[in-house]
């Protein structure tokens, strides 16, 4: 049975071999990629486009607005309505079912 020190030495030797093999293969892969890029006329931006902060361009424009939801609740005193989304208005109180608008 090998000792701990012998196994650690073997591990370090294997890690060095692994790193060397990876470096050799990476060089080959990079050459293949460069060849394909020149063959097809590709630029680095075509493969991995740079992306700025925030949303990508054209994802959503500010001029398009969401369609508003129909109101579900109505305050008969003021005529204010609420769709049921977002923070509940104070006029709903503890029993919001009193202000429900009947669905047709």
| pLDDT number for residue 89 | 92
**In the chain, where are the structural domains located?**
4-46, 69-104
Task: Choose among 38, 56, 54: nearest CA to 46.
Answer: 38
pTM: 0.38
Is residue 86 a contact partner of residue 72, using CB atoms and an 8 Å limit?
Answer: no
Question: Phi and psi at residue 20, in whole multiples of 5°?
Answer: -65, -45
6-34 tens-digit pLDDT? 999 999 999 999 999 999 899 899 999 99
Which residues of the chain fall short of a pLDDT of 50?
A: none
Count Cβ atoms below 10 Å from residue 99 Cβ, excluding itself. 19
| pLDDT number for residue 15 | 95
């Amino acid at each position: 049975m090998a000792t701990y020190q012998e196994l650690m030495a073997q591990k370090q030797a294997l890690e060095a071999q692994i790193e060397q093999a990876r470096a050799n293969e990476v060089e080959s892969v990079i050459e293949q990629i460069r060849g394909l890029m020149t063959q097809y006329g590709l630029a680095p931006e075509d493969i991995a486009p740079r992306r700025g902060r925030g949303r990508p361009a054209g994802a959503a424009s500010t001029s398009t607005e969401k369609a508003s939801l129909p109101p579900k609740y109505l305050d008969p005193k003021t005529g204010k309505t609420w769709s049921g989304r977002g923070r509940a208005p104070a006029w709903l109180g503890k029993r919001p079912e009193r202000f429900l608008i009947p669905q047709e």
